Amino acid sequence: MKSKLFKKILVANRGEIAIRIMRACRELGIATAAVYSDADRSAIHVRYADEAHHIGAAAPTESYLQLERIVKVAHDCGADAIHPGYGFLAEKPQFPEACHAAGVTFIGPPASAMRALGSKLAARRLAAQNGVPVTPGSDAVEPATALEAARKIGFPVMLKPSGGGGGIGMKVVESEWELAAAIEGTAQAARSAFGDATVYLERYVRHPRHVEIQVVCDTHGHAVHLGERECSIQRRHQKIMEETPSPAVTAEIRSAMGEAAIRAATAAGYVNAGTVEFIFSDGEFYFLEVNARLQVEHPITEAVTGVDLVKEQIRIAAGLELSFTQSEVEWKGHAIEMRINAEDPLRKFIPNPKRISRWVAPAGPGVRVDSGFGPGSDVPPNYDSLVAKLIVHGGDRAEAIARASRALREFVVVGPATTIPYHRAILENSDFRSGNLSTRFIEEHPQLIEDARKLAEDESPFDYGPDPRHVAAAAAAVASLVRQ
């Protein structure tokens, strides 16, 4: 079936998100073009697409960050739209501008909205001007002006770069004597990571939840929210597990947060899917930032609402109206996503890029696995360590937790060490099960490492391959016979 939306979409990304987008395109009857680096020549997303184009060496700066090269490939192969996925170029305003200049549709927000929201300071001001609560904070500070601003806010304060995300450069400053050195370190990290050394201060909330709202806006003036995602389980400001609904958010708070998120997005002229992030504490919420792209954790929102966010993105980019109204959005059940990374939690989460020798993904009711890897795949050291997202959906939170635990035990990944046992430990933790969460959950539960160590010894019933321990024992027995 030929799609009336687009003829062909180039996916300017890799791994699981590239495949996720291509699956939506295939269901819509849209042809897909992949791009790949030297490290991804044999990657699954390359084989899944209708066509694939080499764009450079393994380093992202030589391939997936080559904006002009990617846009030229799209133009030359006849793609009439580009989907950026997340990461890489997804939030660079130069990307939609280059697409427009080449006559290619960018599936995402306009460059003007990206620019309005790309600076956290500017986004805070915009939010406050439109009645969205923001944490007490400062404008841009330097060592000479920071102390007065910090005293006005009150210690402890959080020092943040204005121009980026991902927790890079963020630092909690407990006292006056730490401030000058912290500003220098954060500014240096910000300059290196984002090319912008601007930093500012916010009041530090000691035990907040990180709660975000999914918004979707079309070009016809319609904007809706799809509820919240609880993203408090973080390690070094990086999310590792998300769920929806939040155990702490009532229907009334959801409605208020949703309305605030829509005000923040529409004030910036936002179009397409985006996420407005808040900190939440003691029933109060405060604006953090807007992620002008599809989020890694979007599948849990899809699970509880039944809305295919990627298809909706494509429809909006094609100029169509939203396929639903706010009153038609319903939330059913509970969903949890676990980010399975090629990292060794028993060795301080050191990245563990290796070839996957065995891979058995879990299945059964309410289980979804988004991945760009399989048996025989190489996990390259050049990119993010994410190898899979395990998403479960249950009738309520208790069922979702039980389903997640079951699915994690079934998941077999042999080759690289992964965070699977660590996720199992989180799910078995009593504070997690009671919904007692904050962004400090991981640091306040160091025993999770030992719990994960014990769970790592638990064999999956679906691991049909030779157990390395049995192989070692057999080898020892043979060696003993040889010596005799």
Mean pLDDT (10-residue bins), the chain, 484 residues: 80 98 98 98 98 98 98 98 97 97 98 93 93 91 89 92 78 91 89 86 91 98 98 94 98 98 97 97 94 97 98 98 98 98 96 96 98 97 97 98 98 97 98 97 97 91 64 55 54
Position 483 scores a pLDDT of: 58
CB 135 within 8 A of CB 203: yes
Domains, the chain, in order of start with CATH, read 8-107 (3.40.50.20), 136-203 (3.30.1490.20), 209-455 (3.30.470.20)
Q: Which token pair is 147?
A: 């102390």
* Locus of tokens 């504070």: 431
d(CA 171, CA 163): 15
pLDDT digits (tens, 9 = 90+) for 217-239: 999 999 999 999 999 999 988 99
Residue 225 CB coordination number (10 Å) = 22
d(CA 372, CA 17): 8
Q: Which token pair is 203?
A: 């009041």
User: Catalytic site residues?
Assistant: 293
- Environment class of residue 285 by beta-carbon count within 10 Å: exposed (0-12), middle (13-18) or buried (19+)? buried
Position 464 scores a pLDDT of: 67
Q: Which residues pair with 368 in a beta bridge?
A: 391
Report which of 364, 377, 371 is spatially closest to residue 414, judged by C-alpha positions. Answer: 377
Residues 6+ apart with CB under 8 A from 35: 10, 11, 12, 14, 52, 53, 54, 55, 63, 64, 70, 73
Position 475 scores a pLDDT of: 55
d(CA 43, CA 52): 11
- Residue type at position 394: G
Q: At what angle do helices 94-101 and 111-118 cross, to 10 degrees?
A: 170
Give the helix/strand (H/E) hosting 120: helix 120-129
CB 303 within 8 A of CB 335: yes
Helix then strand then coil, % of the chain, to nearest 5 = 40, 25, 35
CB 74 within 8 A of CB 51: no
Q: Which token pair is 231?
A: 């993203």
Q: Which alpha helices (DSSP H) does 214-356 contain, by range?
A: 251-267, 298-305, 309-317
Residues 6+ apart with CB under 8 A from 179: 143, 146, 147, 150, 173
Residues recorded for the chain: 484
Position 369 scores a pLDDT of: 98
